[in-house]
Chain A
Amino acid sequence: MNCNAAQDRFAEVLDGRLDGAATAEVRAHLASCPDCQREFSALAQTLAELDTLPTPPPGPALRQRFYAMLEEEKNSAASVAAAAARHHRRSRVAFWRWVLAPIAAAALAFGGFYAGARFAPPAPAGLDAATKQELAELRARVDSVGQLVGISLLQQRSTSERLQSVLATLDQKNPDQKVISDLIGSLALDPSTNVRLSALDALYPHANQPIVRSGVLATLPREQNPLVQVAMIDFLVAARDRAAVPELQRLSRSENINQAVRDAAQRGLAQL
């Protein structure tokens, strides 16, 4: 390797981007050439200076100006329009789900009925007691499926719509069991804290019904939000539900639960 070829590769050697064999060739030339040694060490010194050049940090104003600009852009007409368009697309999807889900459910039910009518053996003229019980169980199961469909439909609407449907039940003096079950379903399944809290409020007038108390109690261990947990504890204590004692004991002892929830559970235990 001559001096020109070696010097052409000095920068790459110093970069560390040249492969091992080529680097070894350059180093071999360097070992025997004082001129190239001077050239190489001058480049190395310049690079070392460049690498130790301090980088001052930016002042705080840069961050403030950036976030001010970001806020402005988020509030600008174009961004708001884009966000609205995204929401519109989402709600269109939700709408079709809302329309198609009941149709699909009805088609399934009809298909089942048709298959049953066509292929099942004809029923004997007189139904015995066992058959009657089976039919009753089947009816109950279909009812609970209907309820689940109702709750899932409830969840496909927006938070404010779900809130309104929960609040609407407050006006009903004697709501039927379906309304009560929907409220317990909302309390157990709704993703919005506000809807769950409203559902609990709507259940207060019916706290005398065992199904309401046991529904709230069954939902309590799954609830994660401390606000709703405390509200549920207050509900069960107000309803004087002694069945809640073991769950309240568990909550008051649990280490990884919010302090406010543990305090509420302890207060509740004292009152029960």
Chain B
Amino acid sequence: MVNSAPAAVDATPDTPSDHELMLAVRDGDLDALGELFERHHGPLFGFLVKLTGQRTAAEDIAQTVFQRMLKYRHTYRDDGSFTAWMYHLGRRCAADHFRRHQAAPAATDPSVLQERADDAPHAADRATVRDDHALLHRALSRLDRDDREVLLLSRFQELSFAEIATILECSAGAAKVRAHRALRQLRDLYFQLQKENLS
């Protein structure tokens, strides 16, 4: 599985695990949330920017996620998985955001499509790659939000289907079926857009 998220940090004598840090936050050591922010805000933002297609919205939602972690720290469970909890909150906050902005159509922010220059050695290749990414972004934005969510979670965030099931509040089997169905739909949309582009 390819992903852009760092693996959840396991406990060593020097570095406490994500779970230990969140338990410390729950017990009143609020500074421990700073370490969790440093570890996870990048991948969380990456997930949200792909989910919403908008940088500003993704930053606002990421901020709200950490705000809710503080507010609801007492609800964090002893047997919890921190990343699963974080994406669970992320999904809820994103849903709130979409509800508030339902009237406004979600346009793809051009800055999302920017690439690093060193990724593309040749100008023509670079143009092709950018076109492909733009097409994929459009295909992603045409997916149902639920399908987009499960696809991004299963592909980028190094989560097991059991954890994804916790986030989506369904069974692991159902999460897997939804992820695979979403992938097939994305493929259909992507190839359809490619055809439209060529004609």
Contacts and interface: CB of A to CB of B under 8 A. Distances in A.
Interface of A: 11-12, 14-17, 42-43, 45-47, 49-59, 61-63, 65-67, 69-70, 73-74, 79, 82-83, 86
5 contacts: A15-B154, A57-B45, A58-B45, A66-B37, A79-B28
B37 A83 contact: no
Contacts of B156: 55
Given A49-B190, A56-B55, A11 B183 contact: yes
B55 A59 contact: yes
The dominant DSSP class at the B interface is: helix
Interface bin, chain B: 35 or more
Contacts of A69: 63, 66-67, 70
B191 A42 contact: yes
Given A69-B66, A73-B30, A56 B112 contact: yes
Nearest to B66: A66
Contact of B45 (A54, A62, A65, A83): A62
B70 A70 contact: yes
A188 B69 CA distance: 44
Nearest to A16: B1
B110 to A, nearest CB: 11
B133 interface: yes
B41 A58 contact: yes
Contacts of A43: 183-184, 187
- Nearest 6 A/B pairs, CB to CB: A11-B180, A55-B46, A51-B2, A58-B45, A46-B187, A49-B136
Given A58-B59, A62-B63, A49 B132 contact: yes
A57 B42 contact: yes
Contact of A61 (B1, B59, B116, B191): B59
B28 A82 contact: yes
Given A58-B59, A62-B62, A70-B70, 8 more contacts: A12-B180, A46-B136, A50-B136, A54-B116, A55-B49, A59-B55, A59-B59, A63-B41
Contacts of B191: 42, 46
Contacts of B80: none
